Amino acid sequence: MYPVNLVVEGRPCLVVGGGRVAAHKVRGLRRCGAEVHVVAPEVSDEVRAQAGVTWEERPYAAPDLEGRRLVIAATDDPAVNEAVYRDAEAAGVWINGADDPAHCSFTLPSVVRRGDLLLTVSTGGRSPALAVWLREKLEAEIGPEYAVLLDLLAAERESIRASGRSSEQVDWRRALDSDMLGLIRSGDVTHAKERLHTCLSSSSG
């Protein structure tokens, strides 16, 4: 597997299937800003209720792939899922078969999001249960304070670059090891920011 983060914001994606699994896949795509169209003989209320999603209640057909950047096959009919895979491969469209790694050109990892911080766990499609178990352990350990930490670091990095200095020449590790995270956890973001300034100033001096 070659790990990537796909930018799907504003890009047309297709989900074939209208049930519970399809609804979950639609939700993930919409969370990342994708333009999602759903095709299935029956489209559930769970899919219909999601903002920014279009749908058609009819069987899948190969022309549905035209103009799509990515497709997810999430039906309960193996023959349909295989047809979507075959058509997508012929059309050069990235395809994920839900719980069907043999019919995928990409797989979907388990995800932990903390603001713009993204942690993923993948087993190459071999054990989704293990991926979910590990994700839950990460969710318990990596709390919302990491999103705040990322915001502080990103703002400081932009400030350094705006001043004409290189952000690669400062000791970020020293700042991260300075218990900034502990200060953020206690709600003292102001002192965490001051500690970041102090560590970076002394390392660049």
| pLDDT tens string 85-95 | 999 999 999 99
Q: So what's the pLDDT on residue 203?
A: 63
Q: Are residues 26 and 77 in the same domain?
A: yes
Which residues of the chain are modeled with pLDDT < 70?
203-205
Per the structure, the count of domains in the chain is: 3
**53 sits in which H/E element:** strand 53-57
Residue 131: closest CA among 116, 103, 112: 112
Q: Are residues 3 and 91 in the same domain?
A: yes
Structure tokens given for 161: 């670059």
Q: Are residues 6 and 101 in the same domain?
A: yes
Q: Are residues 102 and 115 in the same domain?
A: no
Q: Are residues 173 and 124 in the same domain?
A: no
Q: Are residues 117 and 88 in the same domain?
A: no
Q: So what's the pLDDT on residue 125?
A: 79
Count of Cβ atoms closer than 10 Å to residue 193 Cβ: 18
Per the structure, the complete domain to which residue 171 belongs is given by 145-204
Count of Cβ atoms closer than 10 Å to residue 89 Cβ: 13
CATH of the domain at 43: 3.40.50.720
- Sign of the C-alpha dihedral, residues 79, 84, 89, 94? negative
Q: Are residues 125 and 170 in the same domain?
A: no
Q: Are residues 93 and 122 in the same domain?
A: no
Q: Are residues 52 and 119 in the same domain?
A: no
Angle at the Cα of 193 (from 190 to 196), degrees rounded to 5? 150
Structure tokens given for 54: 């279009």
Q: So what's the pLDDT on residue 124?
A: 82
Please say whether the beta carbons of 137 and 173 come within 8 A. no
Of the candidates 141, 163, 189, which is a domain's last residue? 141
Q: Are residues 65 and 50 in the same domain?
A: yes
Q: Are residues 24 and 100 in the same domain?
A: yes
| pLDDT tens string 58-69 | 999 999 999 999
CATH of the domain at 129: 3.30.160
Phi and psi torsions of 102, nearest 5°: -70, -20
Q: So what's the pLDDT on residue 201?
A: 84
Structure tokens given for 142: 């990596």
